[in-house]
């Protein structure tokens, strides 16, 4: 059994899948930055940004609604922005009473809140599209090419590699517990099985400790395996990516569109 919960790559053959990962990373970051910088209530620009996103969706052959369906994971984080409803000065719209405080929603606050929602919603979708169309190792290569410090890319690469191994390990531990979580025959007669909460918490604690120990020992063995193949403290990687004409053209046009978005948003 394999633990694949973290793999977000969706295989398809499309223009977006074939693009160089660097182009995708740069455009995604530029797009997110652009959304952040657009002024509150720049609805036309936000609308254009949505069109841009939908166009990218269409080009990826994953379906127009692909990122939309997955975008709701970001909603809980948008709740953090709820406070701006009340904290921005402006025309009061409505006031409500909560326990012992009065909250007043202002028009400016509402505008800011809506803008933040739209911004994060659009940005998250573009990020989802990026990881859905780019294999994870390619993403790491893109970061390496873009001069992200190698210690960071190395940590991410190892994290990615061993997340699955650890995930499998957790599954095995849980299954081993499951297999022995029986009820005594007396349980049918009304005895409660499962043990006390404190006892179960202790078991869970032991499992976490067990997992840590196993990982710690594994890291030792992995390091030995690296040493055995000549590791000396500096990680060399080879990433055979090449930028083609089409990559340059796509990146340039995407960045121009994003620039236009900014201009439209500020008119």
Partner 1 sequence: MTNVLAVHDLHFSYHDHHPALRGVSFELCEGDKVALVGPNGAGKSTLMLHLNGILTSHSGDVTVGGDRLTRHNLPAIRAMVGLVFQNPDDQLFSPTVFEDVAFGPLHMGLPKEEVLERVESALREVRMSNYRDRMSHHLSVGEKKRIAIATVLSMNPQILVLDEPSAGLDPRARRTLINLLRELPITMLVSTHDMRLVEELFPRTIVMDEGLVVADGMTKEILEDEKFLNEHGLEKP
The minimum distance between CB 228 and partner 1, in angstroms, equals: 4
Under the binding rule (CB under 8 A), the answer on residue 152 touching partner 1 is no
Tokens 């080879």 belong to 238
Under the binding rule (CB under 8 A), the answer on residue 58 touching partner 1 is no
CA-CA distance, 242 to 61, in Å (whole number)? 23
Contacts of residue 182, defined as CB under 8 A and 6 or more positions apart, other chains included, come to: 193
The minimum distance between CB 229 and partner 1, in angstroms, equals: 4
What tokens does 27 get? 């455009």
Identity of the residue, 67 or 153, whose beta carbon is nearer to partner 1 in the bound complex: 153
Identity of the residue, 196 or 236, whose beta carbon is nearer to partner 1 in the bound complex: 236
Under the binding rule (CB under 8 A), the answer on residue 221 touching partner 1 is yes
Separation of first and last alpha carbons in the chain: 56
Contact 14/60 with Cβ under 8 angstroms?
yes
Under the binding rule (CB under 8 A), the answer on residue 158 touching partner 1 is yes
> Which residues from 163-192 bind partner 1, rule CB under 8 A?
164-165
Q: Please report how the helices 21-37 and 107-133 are oriented relative to each other, as an axis angle in degrees rounded to 10.
A: 180
The minimum distance between CB 174 and partner 1, in angstroms, equals: 19
Among the listed residues 82, 146, 208, 227, the single contact to partner 1 using CB under 8 A:
227
Binding segment for partner 1 (CB under 8 A), chosen from 18-26, 54-62, 107-115, 217-225, is 217-225
Residue 240 CB-density burial (10 A; 0-12 exposed, 13-18 middle, 19+ buried):
exposed
Contacts with partner 1 by CB under 8 A: the residue count is 27
Q: What are phi and psi of 204, to 5 degrees?
A: -60, -40
Among the listed residues 87, 191, 193, 237, the single contact to partner 1 using CB under 8 A:
237
Identity of the residue, 15 or 160, whose beta carbon is nearer to partner 1 in the bound complex: 160
The minimum distance between CB 168 and partner 1, in angstroms, equals: 9
Under the binding rule (CB under 8 A), the answer on residue 229 touching partner 1 is yes
The minimum distance between CB 158 and partner 1, in angstroms, equals: 7
230 in the Ramachandran plot: left (φ > 0), alpha (ψ -120 to 50) or beta?
left
Contact 19/137 with Cβ under 8 angstroms?
no
Binding segment for partner 1 (CB under 8 A), chosen from 31-39, 43-51, 85-93, 218-226, is 218-226
Identity of the residue, 33 or 226, whose beta carbon is nearer to partner 1 in the bound complex: 226
Identity of the residue, 68 or 162, whose beta carbon is nearer to partner 1 in the bound complex: 162
CA-CA distance, 14 to 17, in Å (whole number)? 5
Under the binding rule (CB under 8 A), the answer on residue 236 touching partner 1 is yes
C-alpha dihedral over 23, 27, 28, 29, to 10 degrees? 110
Tell which residue, 145, 124, 12, 146, has the closest CA to residue 69. Answer: 124
Which residues contact partner 1 (rule: CB under 8 A)? Answer: 2, 135-137, 140, 157-158, 160-162, 164-165, 218, 221-222, 224-232, 236-238
């Amino acid at each position: 059994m394999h633990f694949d919960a973290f793999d977000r790559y969706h295989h398809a053959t499309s223009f977006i899948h074939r693009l160089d990962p660097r182009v995708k990373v740069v455009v995604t970051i530029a797009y997110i930055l652009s959304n952040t910088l657009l002024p509150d209530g720049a609805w036309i620009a936000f609308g254009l940004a949505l069109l841009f996103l939908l166009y990218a969706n269409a080009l990826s052959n994953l379906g127009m609604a692909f990122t939309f369906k997955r975008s709701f994971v970001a909603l809980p984080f948008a709740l953090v922005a709820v406070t701006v409803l009340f904290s921005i000065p402006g025309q009061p719209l409505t006031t409500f009473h909560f326990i012992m405080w009065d909250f007043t929603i202002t028009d400016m606050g509402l505008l800011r809140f809506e803008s933040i929602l739209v911004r994060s919603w659009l940005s998250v979708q573009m990020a989802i599209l990026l990881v859905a169309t780019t294999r994870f190792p390619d993403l790491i290569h893109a970061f390496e090419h873009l001069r992200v410090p190698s210690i960071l890319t190395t940590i991410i690469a190892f994290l990615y590699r061993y997340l699955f191994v650890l995930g499998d390990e957790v599954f095995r531990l849980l299954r081993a517990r499951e297999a022995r979580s029986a009820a005594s025959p007396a349980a049918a007669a009304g005895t409660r099985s499962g043990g006390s909460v404190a006892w179960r918490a202790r078991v869970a604690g032991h499992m976490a400790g067990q997992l840590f120990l196993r990982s710690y020992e594994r890291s030792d063995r992995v390091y030995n395996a690296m040493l055995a193949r000549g590791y000396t403290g500096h990680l060399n990687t080879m990433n055979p990516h090449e930028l083609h004409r089409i990559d340059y053209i796509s990146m340039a046009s995407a960045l121009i569109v994003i620039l236009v978005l900014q201009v439209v948003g500020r008119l």
